[in-house]
């Protein structure tokens, strides 16, 4: 009886080997070469560009602390610049510094003709504002 069980087992293994050897027949392979360019590089945008400003996102979530809102803002600005579809205007931390520089130029302390001029900043066509209402600092993508 034991010999018969071994024969069935060996026949089973031989059958699987024959079946698997037939699976490879007729298989063709293809080679795809990429240019290693991202979608934004491959499709160049040359149309009109809207002036856009992005405000810092407010953190309203319980676990949202620190500089999360300004970090989200920075990531969004970086992405908007890479699209090459917008003129991204400074409206964050740099705007305060620009105001200080303009005030310094108007104070009379800067050489005449070398001070920045008031009223030369562009207005935004689009202003992005937002809030973070849910945030889990230890969450991970699976």
Q: Give Rg (Cα) of the chain.
A: 31
Average pLDDT over all residues of the chain: 78
Domains of the chain: which residue ranges? 48-134
Q: How confident is the model at residue 1 (pLDDT cuts 50, 70, 90)?
A: very low
Which helix (DSSP H) or strand (DSSP E) does residue 6 occupy?
helix 2-23
Q: How confident is the model at residue 95 (pLDDT cuts 50, 70, 90)?
A: confident
- Asked if the model's pLDDT at residue 80 lies above 90, the reply is yes
The string of pLDDT tens digits covering residues 41-52 is: 556 778 889 999
The string of pLDDT tens digits covering residues 23-76 is: 555 555 656 566 666 555 556 778 889 999 998 888 888 888 768 888 888 899
């Amino acid at each position: 009886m034991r010999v018969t069980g071994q024969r069935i087992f060996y026949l089973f293994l031989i059958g699987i080997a024959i079946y698997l050897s037939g699976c490879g027949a007729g298989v063709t392979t293809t080679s795809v070469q990429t240019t290693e360019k991202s979608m934004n590089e491959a499709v160049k945008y040359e149309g009109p560009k809207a002036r856009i400003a992005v405000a810092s996102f407010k953190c309203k979530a319980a676990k949202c602390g620190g500089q999360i809102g300004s970090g989200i803002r920075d990531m969004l600005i970086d992405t908007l610049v890479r699209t090459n579809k917008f003129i991204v205007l400074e409206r964050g931390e740099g705007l305060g510094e620009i105001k200080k520089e303009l005030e310094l130029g108007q104070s009379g302390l800067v050489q005449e003709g070398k001070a920045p001029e008031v009223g030369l900043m562009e207005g935004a066509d689009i202003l992005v504002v937002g809030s973070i209402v849910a945030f889990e600092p230890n969450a991970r993508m699976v």
